Amino acid sequence: MAGGIVANTPLKRALVLSMVTLATTLYGTTVLVVSVILPQMQGTLSATQDQIAWVLTFNILATAIATPMTGWLTARFGRRNVMIYCQAGFTAATLLCGMATSLETLVFYRILQGALGAPLIPLAQATILDTYPKEQHGTATSIFGMGVVIGPVLGPILGGYLADAYTWRYAFYMIVPVGVAATVGLYFLLADKGKQSGIKLDWTGFLALAIAISCVQLMLSRGQRQDWFDSIEIILEVGIGAMALYIFIVHSLTTAKPFLTPSLLLDRNYALGLMIVFLYGMLNFTPMVLFPPMLQGLMGYPNSIIGELLGARGVGALVGFFAAMFVARIDPRIGMSIGMGIQVASGLIMMTFDQNVAFETVAFVGALQGAAVGLFWVPLTVASFSTLSPAYLAESSAIFHLLRNLGSSIFISLSVATVIRSSGENYARMVEFASPFNENIPAAGMTLDTVTGMAGISGEILRQASMLGYLNAFALYTAACLASLPLILMFRVEKRKPPA
pLDDT digits (tens, 9 = 90+) for 260-304: 788 888 888 888 888 888 888 888 777 877 877 788 777 777 666
Amino acid 130 reads D
Looking at residue 143, its pLDDT comes to: 80
Between residues 378 and 432, which one has the greater pLDDT?
378
Q: Which of 446, 451, 296, 417 is nearest to 362 (CA)?
A: 296
Three-state SS for 436? coil
Using the predicted structure, report yes or no on whether residue 482 has a pLDDT greater than 80.
yes
User: Where are the alpha helices (H) located in 190-302, listed in sequence order?
Assistant: 203-222, 232-254, 268-284, 286-297
User: Mean pLDDT lowest for which of 120-129, 194-203, 325-334?
Assistant: 194-203
Position 349 confidence tier, pLDDT thresholds 50, 70, 90 = very high
* Contact call for residues 209 and 244 (beta carbons, < 8 A): yes
Percent helix, strand and coil across the chain, each to the nearest 5: 80, 0, 20
- Cβ neighbors of 329 (< 8 A, separation 6 or more) are 138
Between residues 229 and 179, which one has the greater pLDDT?
179
Between residues 328 and 326, which one has the greater pLDDT?
326
Distances from the Cα of 305 to the Cα of 34, 161, 355, 360, 470, angstroms: 19, 13, 16, 11, 20
Other C-beta atoms closer than 10 Å to the C-beta of 134 total: 11
- Among 81-95, 313-327, 484-498, top mean pLDDT goes to 81-95
* Contact call for residues 409 and 283 (beta carbons, < 8 A): no
* Contact call for residues 423 and 469 (beta carbons, < 8 A): yes
Query: How far is Cα 123 from Cα 182, in angstroms, rounded to an integer?
Result: 14
Between residues 164 and 452, which one has the greater pLDDT?
164
* 215-252: burial string, b at 16+ Cβ within 10 Å, e else: bbbbbbbbbeebebeeeeebeebbebbeebbebbeebb
| Residue 457: HSE in the Cβ half-sphere, 13 Å Cα cutoff | 23
Distances from the Cα of 263 to the Cα of 266, 270, 271, 388, 392, angstroms: 5, 11, 10, 11, 11
Looking at residue 236, its pLDDT comes to: 92
User: Where are the alpha helices (H) located in 137-231, listed in sequence order?
Assistant: 137-165, 169-173, 176-189, 203-222
59-69 residue pLDDT tens: 877 888 888 88
Radius of gyration of the chain (CA): 24
- DSSP 8-state assignment for residue 88: H
Alpha carbon 236 to its chain's center:
26
Between residues 144 and 99, which one has the greater pLDDT?
99
Q: Which of 395, 398, 388 is nearest to 494 (CA)?
A: 388
* Contact call for residues 36 and 168 (beta carbons, < 8 A): no
Report, as an integer, the average pLDDT of 47-75.
80
What DSSP line would sit under 26-74, residue for residue? HHHHHHHHHHHHHHHHHHHTT--HHHHTHHHHHHHHHHHHHGGGHHHHH
User: Mean pLDDT lowest for which of 125-129, 441-445, 476-480?
Assistant: 441-445
Report, as an integer, the average pLDDT of 7-34.
80
Looking at residue 1, its pLDDT comes to: 41
Query: How far is Cα 370 from Cα 405, in angstroms, rounded to an integer?
Result: 18
